[in-house]
Structure 1
Amino acid sequence: MRINFQAIKVIYKYEMLRAWKTLFQSLASPVISTALYFVVFGSAIGSRIDTIEGVSYGLFIVPGLTMLSLLTQSIANASFGIFFPKFTGSIYEVLSAPVSFFEIMVGYVGAAASKSFVLGVVILITASFFVDLKIAHPVWMATFLILTCISFSLFGFIIGLWANNFEKLQIIPLLIITPLVFLGGSFYSVSMLPPFWQTVTLFNPVLYLVSGFRWSFFEVSDVNVGLSLGMIVFFLVACLAVISWMFKTGYRLKE
């Protein structure tokens, strides 16, 4: 199959230019939110907790805080990116063009993942002003960061295709993703929970993302690192399969 790189470039560039118009807002918001989290969690709560698995609490929450923003922003960027053309009707111009679903997906998802990756870097830089941030495995950290941005941008793309109004666009991130992140060991170690809740937490997919990402920083994790990586890859492949089916069947695209 011959890939139309020009079509991918046009979609990607359009989405990135749209984000550029709100660049200050996009960067100022995570910086302020990160600072507030460190003031509340790092200072107020961290002063009452010595260390978690040998890591100071202020350091311990950095991977979880980064994941919280990455997941929500990746979903928001990708879902709105494809939903807005559906809402305005301009999606039909894209669908009628000689562009495959793969090229459309790469353009929109690539832009959303790029914006999320920049956001993740900004959060880590901001965190370094509050704590002495050191990364044990930079390559693995970047790998987890990139895979998370791509996989949840794909998930957001699915939500954008599925949603037929703005309420549905927000319901999954607000009622499902955000609670899963908070309950997935973002700001605490699963070992701190009672045995029953430790078992329950293992069914939370976000736990594996946060745990693997935290391992790349401090070499401590709640689950096996290989399992964390496998879960991310599995989720990414599953999202690709769902998007392929939605385009082939025209689900929510022909309405």
Structure 2
Amino acid sequence: MNFEAIKSIYAFEMARTRRTLLQSIVSPVITTSLYFIVFGAAIGSRMQEVQGVPYGAFIAPGLIMLTLLNQCIGNGSFGIYFPKFTGTIYEILSSPISMLEIVIGYVGAAATKGLIVGTIILITASLFVDISIKHPVMMVLFFVLTAVSFSLFGFMIGIWAKDFEQLNIFPMLIIPPLVFLGGSFYSIDMLPPFWQAVSHFNPVLYLVSGFRWSFFEIADVNPVVSLVTVLGFLVVCLSITAWIFKTGYKLKN
């Protein structure tokens, strides 16, 4: 294992975050604060509790997950797309670095940045509502697995994308609707039976539900099923990434 190569890629990607603190850190915090002001004050005043949890606290895990997914996908995709865009990807591919080391460097940095922002959002949320974490180990497990899985997913998007428009399709047009419709701001038990069944086809529901369970012990889906879903998604992403490097898909041409 070439740890020096991993360290170099990781350090380079982390340095980019320090150069864009306004976009990377300040913007998500302001956005989350606005969510709490709008949803917590406007809707929370009319909907006091959901499944015995104050509404402002109920939406906190969903907001954290929304930020985490966007950050991990965005950082993971841009990190590998930019070398493709500038042509420096060929220097990386021709150097004595294995596929595993490249993935660890880029995905590790993207996941780290997502976890840092997610932690800041959690702290920000605690300033607005009372948050108790009843299962901290499960919370950290969901937190880390989700960050790694979606950073890897973003890495795949960065390889697939041929321009900046395609690069922004998932974080801008697909992930937010899935999060909003995945029980982030409501319990799917509040929906009619048909739409409850439809919601179970939304993969983000399992992430939000499992993550919320670690806070309040309430969930729309069995937390074990949620954990297995996250692990399954991670395995799928690893398999596709291995195939990409094996075949050279959109890397060799």
Q: Give TM-score, length-normalised by structure 1.
A: 0.98
Structure 1: unaligned runs, 5 residues or longer: none
Quote how far apart the aligned CAs of 1:25 are: 3.1
Q: Counterparts in 2 of 1:173-252, with a 5 A limit?
A: 173-252=171-250
Indicate the residue corresponding to 1:30 in structure 2: 28
**Letter in structure 2 aligned against 1:127:** A
Q: 1:40 aligns with which of 24, 38, 41?
A: 38
**Letter in structure 2 aligned against 1:26:** S
Indicate the residue corresponding to 1:54 in structure 2: 52
Quote how far apart the aligned CAs of 1:249 are: 0.4
Indicate the residue corresponding to 2:85 in structure 1: 87
SS for the counterpart of 1:187 is coil
Runs of 4+ in 1 over 6 A off after TM superposition: none
Q: Percent sequence identity over matched residues? A: 65
**Letter in structure 2 aligned against 1:50:** Q
Indicate the residue corresponding to 2:13 in structure 1: 15
Q: 1:154 aligns with which of 148, 152, 155?
A: 152
SS for the counterpart of 2:14 is helix
2: CA distance between counterparts of 1:142 and 1:209? 13
Q: What per-residue deviation string (whole Å, max 9, x for no partner) do you get for residues 178-212 of structure 1?
A: 11111100110010000000000001000000000
Indicate the residue corresponding to 2:112 in structure 1: 114
RMSD: 0.7
Quote how far apart the aligned CAs of 1:176 are: 1.7
2: CA distance between counterparts of 1:175 and 1:131? 29
**Letter in structure 2 aligned against 1:175:** L
2: CA distance between counterparts of 1:169 and 1:108? 16
Q: 1:170 aligns with which of 154, 168, 171?
A: 168
Q: What per-residue deviation string (whole Å, max 9, x for no partner) do you get for residues 118-145 of structure 1?
A: 0010000001110111111111111110
SS for the counterpart of 1:121 is helix
**Letter in structure 2 aligned against 1:206:** V
**Letter in structure 1 aligned against 2:179:** V
Q: What per-residue deviation string (whole Å, max 9, x for no partner) do you get for residues 10-51 of structure 1?
A: 100110011111124321111111110011001100100021
Structure 2: unaligned runs, 5 residues or longer: none
1: CA distance between counterparts of 2:22 and 2:157? 26
1: CA distance between counterparts of 2:137 and 2:21? 27
Indicate the residue corresponding to 1:4 in structure 2: 2
2: CA distance between counterparts of 1:20 and 1:69? 18
2: CA distance between counterparts of 1:38 and 1:226? 29
Number of equivalences: 253
